[in-house]
Amino acid sequence: MTGRFELSKSPNGQYRFVLKAANALTILTSEQYETKRAAQNGIASVQSNCGSDDRYERKVAADKRVYFNLRAANNHVIGTSQMYTTEQAREVGIASVKTNGSTEDIDDNT
C-alpha cells in the first residue's frame, strides 16, 4: 500500500493538498492556492521533486523542534512537514515523502 494526496478546498475558497503515508498520517502539507489547477500543479511538483535529497530543507523552529520543507527546482516551498522532536524522526519523515510522494493516487475532496 502506498500513500496518497488529498486535495481540498478551504472555507475561504482556497485550495491545498496534503500527502498522507500508507498509515494515513499526514507527512507533508502544502500552502494555500487560489485555484484548483495551481494546487494540482503543486502535487505534480511534489511528484517530480520528492526523490531528490537536495530538495529537502532541514529546519529548526524557535522551540527547538525540527521540520523540513520540500522545495522545487525554483527554490519555492512546495510543502512543509509536521514538527518533530528529533532529527532522526525528521529523517524518517523525509524518507516517507521520498517513498510516497511519487504516488498518483489523489483523493479530490473539492
Tens digit of pLDDT at every position of the chain (110 positions): 689 999 999 999 999 999 999 999 999 999 999 999 999 999 999 999 999 999 999 999 999 999 999 999 999 999 999 999 999 999 999 999 999 999 999 999 99
Which H or E run contains 37? Answer: helix 36-49
Domain limits for position 29: 4-108
Radius of gyration of the chain from Cα atoms?
A: 13
What pLDDT does residue 38 have? 97
What pLDDT does residue 2 have? 83
Q: What is the CATH number of the domain that holds 74?
A: 2.30.29.80
Count how many domains the chain has: 1
What pLDDT does residue 56 have? 98
